[in-house]
Amino acid sequence: MPFAEIGPIAIHFPERAETNADLQAAFPEWDMPAIAEKTGIGSRYIAAPNETASDLAVAACEKLFREFGVQRESIDFVLFCTQTPDYPLPTTACLLQHRLGLRENCGALDFNLGCSGFVYGLAMADGLIRMGAARRILLITAETYSKYIDDQDRSLRTIFGDAAAATLVQASDQQSLTGFQFGTDGSGADTLLVADGGARSEQDAIKPRHRKRWKSRLYMDGPSLLSFTIVAVPRLIEEVLELAELTEPQVELYLLHQATRKMLEQLQTRLGLDEASLPIMLENYGNTVSCTLPILISDLRRQGRIELGTQSLLIGFGVGWSWAGCAWKETWAQ
């Protein structure tokens, strides 16, 4: 039986990088040093007004094809994770199949999951490969949260960045992904949401958990998200370790969704880990939602901190509330 392997990853960012210095110049009243200390973010990339998630996704995929010699005709399936699709319909993955020149007998699927989306995508790719339905899958994550954020919104504009990641998930005779575990608690839907733009009328839409302070379409209740995360993530890690039949000393890296430095530092303390084991690497990108994990993997591979045989855990958590994790051993020979 074949297994899923995380192959090469290509990252693409929009052209414009917005730095904390840029924000300080535009808003002198904002205490950017204090904000940066909490978020751990110094800059983030912002999509152009006419640039969409699919545009970023196409650029990431073309980079994957070009830099890693991936033949587009070898792709059997496209899994596209985004919370900022080009249209309510058609499925953006169908548009990507056409724009990328992939075969017509190629599956294409959108899924809207945000911060846990990369791990969910790996699980779906693993299932498709194990059942023999596909051997090479493009797992694409792309987000343009900036389009939901008002320019004056100090709480969100300083955190979220736009990006796309194209990950080749391919069949292998080595099992590298194990212990998949998922969780959902829809009672937290009112802590991170965009309540307009769907079929639900504004009158009947979910209301933000607390008073909305900013004009952004996106609403976030940071303290509630932090409280949820501090409880859910340690429990998820325990479950993944048990399912994967691993012990804590066997795990070299805990790769967590890069939300903010404050949140990740609290998780480090709760789990008794340091930054060598639980990396925090969002200073130059911000919180890119479903893209944070593939960006983190790509950076660590490039730094030589993920090599053949490195044992890690992949942990996503956030909007929904939704959380997902798995164990991953590096088997791709870079």
Residues recognised as catalytic? 115, 257, 287
Contact 1, 135 (CB under 8 A): no
Whole-number Å distance between alpha carbons of 103 and 71 = 11
Q: How many CA atoms lie within 13 A of 269 on its CB side?
A: 7
Neighbours of 33 (CB within 10 A): 9
Of the chain, the end-to-end C-alpha distance in Å amounts to 23
Give, for 92, the enclosing helix (H) or strand (E). Answer: helix 92-99
236 — phi, psi (to 5°)? -60, -45
Residue 140 CB-density burial (10 A; 0-12 exposed, 13-18 middle, 19+ buried): buried
List the one residue out of 173, 168, 172, 176 whose CA is nearest residue 75: 168
